[in-house]
Amino acid sequence: MGEAPQLRDYVKSLEVTQLVEKKGLEMQAYLVIIVGSRHILLWDMDEDGNLADEPRLVGMTSTWGTWNK
């Protein structure tokens, strides 16, 4: 994957970087894609604005309501 220019530009914008520095925050950015109605993929973005090579499967909504039954 490796490309997410709109997210990268926002994360690295002057407004966001100043807010993070001023408030002593830690920036964490993710690209989330929902595939159909069942799968959620998540890519981590590093401090340089690069996405991870592979996404993580963070959820399968078809099983969310059944885990405690």
pLDDT per residue as tens digits for the range 13-55: 999 999 999 999 988 899 999 988 788 999 999 888 889 999 9
Residue 53 lies in a domain: yes
Q: Give the structural domain span for 42.
A: 5-63
Position 1 confidence tier, pLDDT thresholds 50, 70, 90 = very low
The domain total for the chain is 1
Q: Is the whole model's pTM more than 0.85, yes or no?
A: no
**Amino acid residing at 5:** P
How many Cβ atoms are within 10 Å of 54's Cβ, its own excluded?
Answer: 10
Phi-psi region of 49 (alpha: psi -120 to 50; beta: other; left: phi over 0): left
Q: What share of the chain is helix, strand, coil (3-state, %, to 5)?
A: 30, 30, 40
Rg (CA), the chain: 15
Report the DSSP beta bridge partners of residue 34. 40
